Amino acid sequence: MGIIERFIEHPELGKKEYAELLQASESSEGRERLKKEALRLRRLYYGDTVYVRGLIEFTNYCKNDCFYCGIRHGNREAERYRLTKEEILSCCEAGYGLGFRTFVLQGGEDPWFTDGRMEEAVRSIKERYPDCAVTLSIGERSFESYRRLREAGADRYLLRHETASEEHYRKLHPAEMSLSHRKQCLYSLKELGYQVGAGIMVGSPGQTYEELAEDLIFLRELQPQMAGIGPFVPHHSTPFKDEPAGSVDLTLRLLSIIRILLPKVLLPATTALGTMDPLGREKGFAAGANVVMPNLSPAENRKQYELYDNKLCTGAEAAESLADLKKRVEAAGWKLSMERGDAAEEPLQEN
């Protein structure tokens, strides 16, 4: 039996085998087989539903200097902004009116947003919109901070691990950052009862199938409810400005593999995928993705939250164009759901 069939039957493989699986997924036969199984599982747990989240990028100040990221501290050209609590709330108000029931607050690691200020923002959103889920994506914080924010009402937390390989992590981050701390944060978040999202950039500089194999092993260990998997895209004022972008094709193969590895996972067709390929989102759904996160940030700030070059923030990426997005999702054969969309616990029907 080939490696692909072995993986489908028993997704728990070792590092060498995962690397072999990735190699085997290069053939069109291999990719199609993985896709087919990924779709079977996504339909089993989620039917044809695609969940939608409103993304509010509320600050692009960041104290970190990740080599890939356009809002890194060292990028003096970035025009910095931060939203007030009132501005965040009016994004939610607009989003709620459009039908959004999940708000994702994402930002750089901005020390201005102390635990107290973040708590206040989360509390106010939950008070006004108790039927909505609040997701935070604000980087590494202390256990105590995560505890307070959970207590304030935050339901979910996105913190991509970026790479599970120590050596690779050091190629992407300055010496003061550490993979072990990032992983520790993810375990703390899980312990506190958040629905947790980890994930990676596909094709980040120095990444090979061996690193990706470690990512798969880490995801299997962590068992996150969500996984953010998008291609790396260079940003013109970062140390990685001349590096090639990650491949859409490999991103799609990984989406299928992760759907098989973690059948109940919430898997977004990311903005980076849509940026690299005009049909990226549709291809993402066809590979196993079941979430989209259009942008609810104030229009004047969207350009400033520039993680990478040409990041999409209009058309189907813009929350106010929800009707467009709905049409596109439906044309691709899926149904856009405005429900809060927690991770599945059981298959939709006995089988």
Q: How far is the CB of 162 from ligand SAH (least distance, A)?
A: 6
Q: How far is the CB of 238 from ligand SAH (least distance, A)?
A: 7
Give the whole-angstrom CA distance, residue 344 versus residue 341: 8
Give the whole-angstrom CA distance, residue 27 versus residue 20: 12
| Three-class SS state of 68 | coil
Closer residue to ligand SAH (CB): 196 or 307? 307
| Three-class SS state of 298 | coil
Tell me the longest C-alpha to C-alpha distance in the chain.
59
181-184 long-range CB contacts below 8 Å, 24 or more apart?
181/140, 182/140, 183/218, 183/222
By CB under 6 A, tell whether 197 contacts ligand SAH.
Answer: no
Q: How far is the CB of 19 from ligand SAH (least distance, A)?
A: 22
Closer residue to ligand SAH (CB): 121 or 307? 307
The one-letter amino acid code at 164 reads A
Buried b or exposed e, range 311-341, using 16+ CB within 10 angstroms: bbbeebbbbebbeebbebbeebebebbeeeb
Q: Which of residues 133-152 bind ligand SAH (CB under 6 A)?
A: 137-139
Q: How far is the CB of 119 from ligand SAH (least distance, A)?
A: 18
Backbone angles phi, psi at 102, to 5 degrees: -135, 130
By CB under 6 A, tell whether 68 contacts ligand SAH.
Answer: yes
Give the whole-angstrom CA distance, residue 317 versus residue 55: 10
Given candidates 235, 259, 302, 328, which one binds ligand SAH under the rule CB under 6 A? 235
Number of residues near ligand SAH (by CB under 6 A): 19
Given candidates 4, 21, 24, 69, which one binds ligand SAH under the rule CB under 6 A? 69
Reported in sequence order, the residue ranges of the chain that DSSP labels E, i.e. its strands, are 49-52, 54-59, 102-107, 133-137, 156-158, 195-202, 226-231, 291-292, 335-337
Region binding ligand SAH by CB under 6 A among candidate stretches 22-30, 46-54, 102-110, 333-341: 102-110
Extract the tokens encoding 308.
């990478």
Q: How far is the CB of 202 from ligand SAH (least distance, A)?
A: 9
Closer residue to ligand SAH (CB): 46 or 68? 68
Region binding ligand SAH by CB under 6 A among candidate stretches 28-36, 37-45, 101-109, 333-341: 101-109
Region binding ligand SAH by CB under 6 A among candidate stretches 78-86, 114-122, 227-235, 291-299: 227-235
Query: Concatenated DSSP letters for 46-106?
Result: HTTEEEE-EEEEEE---S---TT-TT-TT-TT----B--HHHHHHHHHHHHHHT--EEEEE
| Three-class SS state of 188 | helix
Closer residue to ligand SAH (CB): 69 or 316? 69
Extract the tokens encoding 206.
């120095």
Given candidates 307, 313, 322, 344, which one binds ligand SAH under the rule CB under 6 A? 307
Q: How far is the CB of 348 from ligand SAH (least distance, A)?
A: 31
Give the CA angle between residues 263, 47, 260 to the nearest 5°.
20
Closer residue to ligand SAH (CB): 139 or 298? 139
Q: Which of residues 247-306 bind ligand SAH (CB under 6 A)?
A: 272
Extract the tokens encoding 75.
């990028």
Q: How far is the CB of 109 from ligand SAH (least distance, A)?
A: 5
Give the whole-angstrom CA distance, residue 162 versus residue 111: 22
Give the whole-angstrom CA distance, residue 16 versus residue 312: 36
Q: Which of residues 20-59 bind ligand SAH (CB under 6 A)?
A: none
Q: How far is the CB of 135 from ligand SAH (least distance, A)?
A: 12
By CB under 6 A, tell whether 162 contacts ligand SAH.
Answer: yes
Closer residue to ligand SAH (CB): 34 or 272? 272
Given candidates 108, 197, 203, 224, which one binds ligand SAH under the rule CB under 6 A? 108
Q: How far apart are the first and last CA of the chain?
A: 25
Which residues of this chain interact with ligand SAH, rule CB under 6 A? 68-69, 106, 108-109, 137-139, 159-160, 162, 201, 230, 232-233, 235, 272, 307-308
